[in-house]
């Protein structure tokens, strides 16, 4: 191997390594984002990109006193502040890795479309992260930020599969249509899940499969899916009525049934490890959703439910990328 080939091979290895590292870090950031929301730490730092004006968090008594004087409506809670800042640190590191991808793709002569799309997306995600704080958890932005995180993870996984085709599954012909339909349904369900979370509707129905003891409770879909909630209020804890939150929760349950049915349809069409991976993930995910309701939203189960949605998304993308018509 001559020096030019050695250099090219080294740069290709670097691209593969950074893409894989970014994929793993993206999965971690998605989970950290879910944890941050679930422990109500989204406003643990009321400003951005710092925390009460500090690079980390205020720690001494004088720093805390100055911070609470500057932000009288946001008393310092160190545990929540650290949770928020750790999420930001990892998200920033992810951003740096993703911004390196177009450069490495250019230097290796590989296609630059996905790396460039990812670079734009991660910049938008950074802006969404800032707006999540400055707009005080405005549900529209929180949901968009969650979807952006899932999109980043999905595109990084797809890009990794294009760089390393040897890790793709082998799936039968004719499954692409079913996978695309299921992916579309799953993305809508993830958006619904984000809307449930950002409007604090996870426990709007304390029982399952009923809701407050009835199959069809009082619901307010108009306000439950009002995409024009005003900017200004602090949305920590949510602002919607019980009926509006119930409408969101019931919609999410219906979506879960649709995704369960479609995913099992896809798994039936697959073979081997692919079949059992998709079927196993969607079944566990469905049971986690039920468990969250019946057990009053325990933190571990709620985080696992978010991670399960990401895992199902990646499994379906793996199937899509591995379908015969997708192979090079």
pLDDT attached to residue 325: 47
38 with 52, same domain: the answer is yes
Most confidently predicted of 232-236, 251-255, 267-271: 251-255
Domain boundary among 120, 136, 167: 167
DSSP 229: P
CA dihedral 300, 190, 119, 163 (to 10 degrees): 80
184 with 88, same domain: the answer is no
For the chain, the domain total comes to 2
pLDDT averaged over the chain? 92
248 with 102, same domain: the answer is no
314 with 244, same domain: the answer is yes
Query: Rounded to two decimals, what is the model's pTM?
Result: 0.92
Q: Report which of 199, 251, 191 is spatially closest to residue 221, judged by C-alpha positions.
A: 251
What is the phi/psi pair of residue 54, to 5°?
-110, 155
200 with 327, same domain: the answer is yes
179 with 308, same domain: the answer is yes
- Does the pLDDT of residue 199 top 50, yes or no? yes
CA dihedral 179, 182, 186, 192 (to 10 degrees): 160
Domain boundary among 135, 167, 199: 167
Domain boundary among 106, 132, 167: 167
Q: How confident is the model over 19-36, as pLDDT tens digits?
A: 999 999 999 999 999 999
Give the confidence band of 326 by pLDDT, cuts at 50, 70, 90: very low
176 with 150, same domain: the answer is no
- The answer to whether 227 touches 199, Cβ cutoff 8 Å, is no
Q: Which structure tokens are listed for 185?
A: 């349904």
161 with 207, same domain: the answer is no
- Does the pLDDT of residue 324 top 70, yes or no? no
243 given a catalytic annotation: no
271 with 154, same domain: the answer is no
- Does the pLDDT of residue 43 top 60, yes or no? yes
- The answer to whether 199 touches 240, Cβ cutoff 8 Å, is yes
315 with 208, same domain: the answer is yes
156 with 267, same domain: the answer is no
Catalytic residue among 63, 84, 166, 243: 84
Give the confidence band of 185 by pLDDT, cuts at 50, 70, 90: very high
The CB density around residue 182, as the number of other CB atoms within 10 Å, is: 25
Show the domain range for 60: 1-167
192 with 311, same domain: the answer is yes
Average pLDDT over residues 49-67: 91
What is the phi/psi pair of residue 2, to 5°?
-75, 170
- Does the pLDDT of residue 8 top 70, yes or no? no
């Amino acid at each position: 191997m001559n020096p030019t080939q050695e250099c090219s091979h080294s740069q290709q290895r670097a691209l593969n390594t950074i893409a894989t590292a970014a994929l793993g870090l993206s999965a971690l950031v998605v989970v950290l984002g879910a944890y941050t929301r679930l422990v109500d730490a989204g406003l643990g730092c009321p400003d951005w990109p710092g925390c009460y004006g500090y690079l980390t968090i205020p720690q001494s008594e004088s720093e805390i006193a100055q911070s609470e004087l500057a932000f009288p409506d946001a008393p310092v809670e160190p545990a929540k502040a650290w949770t928020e800042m750790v999420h930001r640190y990892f998200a920033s590191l992810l951003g740096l890795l993703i911004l390196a991808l177009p450069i490495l793709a250019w230097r290796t002569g590989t296609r630059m479309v996905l790396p460039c799309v990812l670079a734009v997306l991660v910049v938008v995600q950074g802006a969404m992260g800032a707006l999540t704080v400055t707009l005080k958890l405005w549900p529209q932005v929180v949901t968009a930020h969650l979807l952006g995180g899932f999109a980043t993870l999905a595109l990084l996984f797809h890009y990794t599969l294009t760089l390393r085709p040897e890790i793709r599954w082998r799936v039968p012909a004719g499954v692409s249509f079913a996978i695309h339909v299921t992916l579309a349904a799953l993305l809508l369900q993830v958006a619904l899940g984000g809307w449930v979370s950002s409007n604090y509707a996870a426990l709007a129905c304390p029982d399952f499969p009923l809701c407050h003891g009835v199959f069809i409770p009082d619901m307010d879909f108009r306000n439950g899916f009002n995409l024009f909630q005003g900017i200004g209020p602090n949305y920590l804890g949510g602002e919607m009525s019980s009926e509006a939150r119930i409408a969101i929760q019931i919609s999410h349950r219906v979506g879960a049934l649709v995704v369960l049915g479609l995913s099992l349809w896809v798994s039936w069409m697959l073979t081997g490890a692919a079949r059992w991976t998709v079927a196993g993930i969607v079944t566990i995910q469905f049971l986690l959703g039920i468990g969250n309701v019946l057990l009053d939203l325990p933190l571990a189960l709620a985080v696992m439910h978010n991670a399960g949605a990401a895992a199902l998304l990646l499994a379906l993308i793996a199937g899509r990328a591995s379908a015969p018509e997708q192979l090079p």
